[in-house]
Amino acid sequence: MRILGALTPIDIPVSGFRLHRSSASATRGRRLLAADGEVARILDVALDDLMAPGAVISASRERWRRLVVAPAFRVASAEIWGATAMVLAEFLVLLGWTGVAS
């Protein structure tokens, strides 16, 4: 695995934590392990799929008895939202992506 660099730290209001993010490259087939209680599942998604037209959607979630609408990614039969979507969006912007929610 090769560390590529750090991304901007983000504050997560739900937990009160500050997330310090890094990007890395790894060879295909490398086994990734999900942290219990932190990661629902690991998706192997191509960058082209994340940057494809229509990959960004508006997702609705009920949080604290309020409806929250935020951008999310719909790829690989999954909806990626919240902090994970924020991490992906910054990474993709660094690669030149200019996607918008539909």
Q: Cα 61 to chain center, whole Å?
A: 16
pLDDT value, residue 102: 46
> For residue range 93-102, what is the model confidence (pLDDT) as tens digits?
988 898 764 4
Sheet holding 56-63, edge to edge: 56-63, 66-75, 78-80
> For residue range 4-62, what is the model confidence (pLDDT) as tens digits?
999 999 998 878 899 999 988 888 777 888 888 888 888 989 999 999 999 999 999 88
C-alpha R_g of the chain: 14
